[in-house]
Amino acid sequence: MRYFKVFVVLTLFSFVLLFFAQNIEALSMPLALSFNLLGWSWFSFEYPFYFMVLGSFVLGGIFCLSYFFMDKLRFSRRLRECKTRVSTLEQEVNSLRNLPLEENPPSGVENQTD
């Protein structure tokens, strides 16, 4: 399975490189971003279009990794809580197993000796 994943990643990487190589003129065109809000405006420097695409891809990857990391931390905390509870319940079961049996039956249960 690991070899299949490596093959898929290499194939995807090859297609991306081929795409960039065939479209270098269109992707090299400068692009400036602007933002206007309530009379306040902001303009960025001119960057090539491929820089914006790659930058967006990297930022998306960082956001995904941070989300999955926070999710892993949450599940790790929950797993630790469950393990603690299981340990406590196992100790309780073991302590109940070691109690001696009562010689007298509990009330309401008749002794059926003939």
Condensed to tens digits (0 to 9), the pLDDT of residues 38-93 reads: 888 888 888 888 888 888 989 999 999 999 999 999 999 999 999 999 999 999 99
More confident residue, 81 or 94: 81
Say if strands 40-43 and 34-37 run parallel, antiparallel, or are unpaired.
Answer: antiparallel
Give the bridge partners for 34, in sequence order: 43
pTM, two decimal places: 0.56
Q: What is the distance between the alpha carbons of residues 25 and 34, in angstroms, rounded to a whole number?
A: 23
